[in-house]
Amino acid sequence: MADVFDFDQFKSKKEMKKVTKENIVYEIFLSTVTYVQRHSVVYYDNPLEYITTDTSLYDLFKGDHTSFFTAFEELIQYWNIDIDLKETLPADQEFDRFSTIGDVCMFIERRVDGSNA
């Protein structure tokens, strides 16, 4: 049986590959904004003009823990980070652990060795 192919993830990863390896921090930010925008309640036509590292995740998701968990899970898959999601994001404490876009970016940056860029 054929494997299921996630074209959206492939397309996102292909777009992110355009960024050079020297700019891993920017790639982390760009991928975070991409996945947050995909699942957030608040939508911007050009999210990079409005979303910064200081942007509140609670505000973007309007407190929707499930949508945030989905976005975070996809980011973890994108970066091939091996963690226990339930331990990292205890139920209903997601926005306490990660209050801003920058918090998620720093979490990813600490776990990425640069070889995934």
Ordered structural domains, the chain, with CATH: 18-111 (1.10.1200)
67: tokens are 């949508």
pLDDT tens-place values along the chain, 117 residues long? 556 666 666 666 666 665 555 588 888 999 999 999 999 988 778 777 888 999 999 999 999 999 999 999 999 999 999 999 888 888 888 999 999 999 999 999 999 865 444
Q: What is the pLDDT of residue 16?
A: 60
The values of phi and psi at residue 6, to 5°, are -90, 95
106: tokens are 């720093």
d(C-alpha 64, C-alpha 57), whole Å = 10
Virtual CA dihedral for 78, 81, 4, 27, nearest 10 degrees?
Answer: 10
